[in-house]
Each structure stands twice: as C-alpha cells, then as structure tokens.
Chain A
Amino acid sequence: MGTASTNPNVNYLTEFSGIKSWLFSLDHKRIGLMYMIAILFFFLVGGIMAMLIRLELFSPGPTLFSADTYNQVLTYHGAIMVFMVIVPGIPAILGNFFLPLQIGAADVAFPRLNLASWYVFMFGAILAFTTLFTTKIDTGWTFYTPYSIKTGTAVITIVLAAFIMGMSSILTGLNFIVTTHKLRAPGMSMFDMPLFVWSLYSTAIIQVIATPVLGITLLLLVAERVLGIGIFDPKLGGDPVLFQHFFWFYSHPAVYIMILPAMGIISELISAFSRKTIFGYKAIAFSSLGIAAVSFIVWGHHMFVSGQSEIAGVIFSFITMLVGVPTAIKMFNWLATLYKGSVSFESPMLYALGFLFLFAIGGVTGIMLATLGVDVHFHDTYFVVAHFHYVMVGGTLMAIMGGFYYWFPKMFGKMYNEGLARLTFVLIFIGFNVTFFPQFILGAMGMPRRYFDYIPAYESLNKISTIGSWMIAAGFFLALYVIIRGIISGPKAPANPWGAKTLEWQTSSPPPHFNFDKKPTVTGGPYDY
C-alpha cells in the first residue's frame, strides 16, 4: 500500500496509487469499485450472449448457429447474468460502497474479510468463465437432475464455481449484518437507518441462511456424479425432484437477493427526488424483512409441473400469494411518497419511475404464475421468460442504473451529461418493453422457452422482440459512454448535488479514505425534508 497524503483535498481515489494499492486495498469503496469493474465485464459478456440468442430467434430455423451451440449460449447467458451479475450486483458494488457511508462508519466491520470476498468471487468467476468457454455446458443455469448427472459436459467444474461464488456471497452478507449492528453512527437507531441499509440487511440474512443450502445441493450433485450415492438418481432409490426442492430453496430467495436491494435504492431515489419524507418508513423496512421471511417458503411454485404432489402444489400456490402483500406495501408507500411531493425528473428518478412501472407488470404476472391452474399452462413458455425479465431486468437493472446515476457524483466526484443520461433511460425503457412485452403474447400463444426453433406463426413477434434488444444494447453502450465521459471530463461534483439527507451526502465527493473527517452524530431521520 502507498503512503497517505497530508493534503486535505485527497480522497479515496487519489490517496494511494499503484495497482497494489487497489489489489490489496481494505477500503470498502475501492473494493466496491473492483467489484464494479468485474461485474461490468461479466454484464458485457452476458449481454452479448443475450444479443446472440435474440439474433438466432430473429427467424425460424438455424439463423446463426446450431441447436447445440444455441443451448450453450443460453446456458452462458443465464449462468453469467444470474450468478455473476444480478445476484452480486447491488450488494457487492453499491452495498459495499454505500452501506458504511450511509450509517456513518469508516468501513465495514471486517475489511480483510471484505477483500477476501472479492478474491473468492473472482476465483469462482474465473473458474466459471474458463469452464464455460473451454468446455460444453448445456444444462441451463439450474443444473436439473437427471440430465445434469448424465450429460458428459463439465458440470462438476461449473457447479464448483457456483459453490465458490456462493461462499463469497455468504461472507459479504455476514460482513453487512455485523456492520449494520455494530458500526452505526452515534444516535442512529435501527429506525434511523436509510431504507437502502434495511434492504441490504434483509438481503444479507437471505445470503447467510439460504446460500449454504445451494452449496450443499451442488456438492450432492457432484457426489452423485462421481460416487453414485443415489440421492437424486431414481435407479438407486433417489428422487430427481428432490434436487429441485433443494435448488429452489436457495434459488427462489436468490430472486429476493436480486430485488430487495433494488427496492432499497428505489426508496432512496423516490424520497430524494420528491423532496419529501418517505411515506411509511417502518412499513417499508418491515416489509423488506417480511419479503425475506416469506421468500423461504414459496420455492415449490417453480415445481408445479415437476412431478411434485398436488397437495404440495396447492400449499405453495397459496403461500406464494403472500409475497404480494409486503411487495404491495412497498409500492403503495412509494406512490404515497410521490403524492404532493416536489417531483423532479432527473435521470435517477426516471429510472425509479421506470422501475415502478415495469416491476408492477413483473409482480402482477408473478401472481398470475403463482396460481396453480394458470401456471400449468404457462409453465416453460415465453410468458415465464417475460415475467422474470420484467422482475430482474425491469426491476433490478432499472434500480442499478438509477442508483448508479444517483451515486455517481459521490463515487467519482464528477457529474455526467444529464441529457445523454436521460436518453439512455428512453432507449433502455422503450427497448425493454419492445423486447419483452411480445414475449408475454408469445407465451400465451404457447411458444415454449429454451427452444432453438419455432413455428412460423411466432415469427413476427420474435422479430419485434429482437429489434427491441438492439435498442436495449444501444442504451447500455450509450450509458457506458456517459459514465466514461463523466469520469474523464465531467464537471466537478459538489458534496450534495441532489440536496439529499442521508449521511453519505454529508461528506465530500469523492469521500476521504475513512469516509468522514469527523465521526457524524445523528440527530434526525434519513428523510427529514
């Protein structure tokens, strides 16, 4: 590590220099940026895969590549986007950067563990990448048995990679829970914390409790392949559906690992750009915990047509409806915050409003799919693909973009071009709807998901969907340009460009190495406008 400067104008970006000062940094902000660089790269690769999938589906029959290659590209897209982009995205980048700042702490509770999490994540990600691009993986990101036991591809290595990345997720979650409990600024009670912190806290609980189950499940899969222990193989007395139980016990809560922090960002944005105290603070905070709790007992809705018993199906269908309650509490509280607020439409707010619109569609179609009788027909059609993209992309990615534009001045001390940033929203928002709304119709018409080919009746809607994907790509490349241009030549950002009230805006932009020159004392709530 380099030497600390005595210049009062230095910040976390300039205080130390050299590649070692980054690779061995214990500063949560620098670690957050290292995650950002890695995850942006994975997002680019996963995005290219998505474009290839849409290009292949532009017309029926082989367009770009063979059916086998299509299966692999589909697996690359799913595995990269889920395990390397959306699950770690918000907690690892924005959570690492802003959790300590928002609670007035100098760093996370365990800085070394934080750096270790990054290395563990990178090791898992590199292993996954090497496996994906040097061997053939065609199981999809879910690794369902019995196919994943029988297929000759490198399932073991990719599963181990997912296991290692899961370990990183657990360490990050553990760090965040301890940080939230132990390092809050004097005077800050749990109910004085910003709602983004509440959402990260709820997410961390899921990360710590659910991820080990994924780890054990994946190891059992390896044991099944190598030793033939007979847990999932029917020939040995095992049950392939049991794999799905274990897998979704983690992977459904994982959906909330993706969306809960996104909801936290939306709470920040809506309050800041409405210039108004958030409506129903405690209701939003508790609804995060409520979503985290309910998320553990709804996994069977992924298995309605798997061979799971009808009684289990009915129970899971009923419980799944409950998720709608805390989610709706959040939606109504956000809308109530907007009501009579001084709403301004800067780019972060546009993304927040886009989130409300798209997530409402994703959520309501989720309730449709939770209905047992309906899901039997929609299962494994493009309706499901459209639904989860509305939640994961329309929800999480919109929030990431909004949060990134919101906190960009704090992270880099620069402002970006607001006009171009708004244009990115227009391109991504319209492109997203053009891409995925037709897929609801395709699903309702019966087009199955994951298929390489389709009948001519589906062609026109597939063409529209592919054209939409080009708009999304244009939006993201423009966003990359806006960010790079902002970092290189953007005007200097003030400490608090949005006039927001949370603690991270009370320090300079970018913050000093230990965040605050003087430990802040909290005397009011985070949204006292």
Chain B
Amino acid sequence: MSEHHVMPLKTYFKVAGGLVLLTILTVVFHEMKMGALAGPVAFLIAAVKASLVLLYFMHLKYDNMTNRVIFGSGFFFLILLFAFSYVDIWTRIKSFSTL
C-alpha cells in the first residue's frame, strides 16, 4: 500500500460539487426525452460519478497499481455483463421485443 495521502478539504468540496452538477445533468437529460440514447447517456454520467468517488473519496488515485487493477477488473466484468446482455437485446426480432 502506498503512503497515506492527505487531500485538502477544498478538493473534496470540488468533487462533491461535481457530483451534484452531474446529478442535475442526469435529470436535465431525462427531461429532454432522448429516446434510445437516454440509457447510454445515463450510464455514462453514472460511470463518471462512480469514477470520481473511487478516485477521490476512496483515494484510488493515490493508491498503488495492484489496487487499481483489482478495481479495474470489477469494471471489466461489469462491461462483460452489459455487453452480452445488450447483444441479446439488440439482436432480438423487433416485433417480439419488449424494448
């Protein structure tokens, strides 16, 4: 484990502000009724928010490479789950699809 890193309080507030802004952005995009893009955009914003929490609040930015790889592998498997599920949903015969 790398040395304990003390972050200035200002950084925490900046990140918290960013998270609030992104939440507002999620609501704005929802109101815009973007159709098929709505899901991917919401996922993208959620992923950015999760990354900010991991990097700053959980100090992953200042952690050693092993821990980053472990976190990364979690995301990799999440992408696998989404990718294969989407392969199914997008290639279904549309008249039978519920989506």
| Chain A residues with a Cβ under 8 A of chain B | 209-210, 213, 234, 237-242, 245-246, 249, 296-297, 299-300, 307-312, 315-316
Do most interface residues of chain B lie in helix, strand or loop, or is the interface mixed? helix
B85's partner among A210, A242, A311 (CB-CB below 8 A) is: A242
B84's partner among A210, A307, A312 (CB-CB below 8 A) is: A312
Query: Which residues of B65-99 have CB atoms within 8 Å of chain A's CB atoms?
Result: 73-74, 77, 80-81, 84-85, 87-93, 96, 98-99
Does A241 contact B81, Cβ atoms closer than 8 Å?
Answer: no
Given A213-B81, A300-B84, verify A239-B89 contact (CB < 8 Å).
Answer: yes
> How far, in angstroms, from A307 to B92 measured CA to CA in the complex?
8
A239's partner among B73, B77, B93, B98 (CB-CB below 8 A) is: B98
> How far, in angstroms, from A315 to B74 measured CA to CA in the complex?
23
> How far, in angstroms, from A238 to B91 measured CA to CA in the complex?
17
> How far, in angstroms, from A309 to B89 measured CA to CA in the complex?
7
Do most interface residues of chain A lie in helix, strand or loop, or is the interface mixed? helix
> How far, in angstroms, from A310 to B93 measured CA to CA in the complex?
9
> How far, in angstroms, from A238 to B99 measured CA to CA in the complex?
7
Q: Can you give 7 A-B contacts (C-beta < 8 A)?
A: A209-B77, A242-B85, A245-B85, A296-B77, A309-B88, A311-B91, A316-B84
List 4 additional contacts besides A209-B74, A240-B98, A249-B81; criterion CB under 8 Å: A238-B98, A309-B89, A309-B93, A311-B88
Give the distance to chain A from B70, nearest Cβ to Cβ, in Å: 9
Does B77 contact A245, Cβ atoms closer than 8 Å?
Answer: no
Give the distance to chain B from A257, nearest Cβ to Cβ, in Å: 15
B88's partner among A237, A240, A296, A300 (CB-CB below 8 A) is: A300
> How far, in angstroms, from A95 to B92 measured CA to CA in the complex?
43
> How far, in angstroms, from A300 to B88 measured CA to CA in the complex?
9
Chain B residues whose CB sits within 8 angstroms of the CB of A310 once the complex forms: 91
Chain A residues whose CB sits within 8 angstroms of the CB of B93 once the complex forms: 309
> How far, in angstroms, from A300 to B93 measured CA to CA in the complex?
17
Chain A residues whose CB sits within 8 angstroms of the CB of B91 once the complex forms: 309-312
Closest to A210 in B: B77
Given A309-B88, A312-B87, verify A239-B99 contact (CB < 8 Å).
Answer: yes
Chain B residues whose CB sits within 8 angstroms of the CB of A241 once the complex forms: 88
A315's partner among B73, B87, B89, B98 (CB-CB below 8 A) is: B87
Does A234 contact B98, Cβ atoms closer than 8 Å?
Answer: yes
Chain B residues whose CB sits within 8 angstroms of the CB of A213 once the complex forms: 81
Given A209-B73, A213-B81, verify A309-B98 contact (CB < 8 Å).
Answer: no
Give the distance to chain A from B54, nearest Cβ to Cβ, in Å: 15
Chain B residues whose CB sits within 8 angstroms of the CB of A209 once the complex forms: 73-74, 77
Give the distance to chain B from A175, nearest Cβ to Cβ, in Å: 15
> How far, in angstroms, from A240 to B99 measured CA to CA in the complex?
11
> How far, in angstroms, from A246 to B81 measured CA to CA in the complex?
8
Chain B residues whose CB sits within 8 angstroms of the CB of A238 once the complex forms: 98
Give the distance to chain B from A452, nearest Cβ to Cβ, in Å: 30
Chain A residues whose CB sits within 8 angstroms of the CB of B74 once the complex forms: 209
> How far, in angstroms, from A241 to B90 measured CA to CA in the complex?
13
> How far, in angstroms, from A238 to B89 measured CA to CA in the complex?
12
Closest to A177 in B: B70
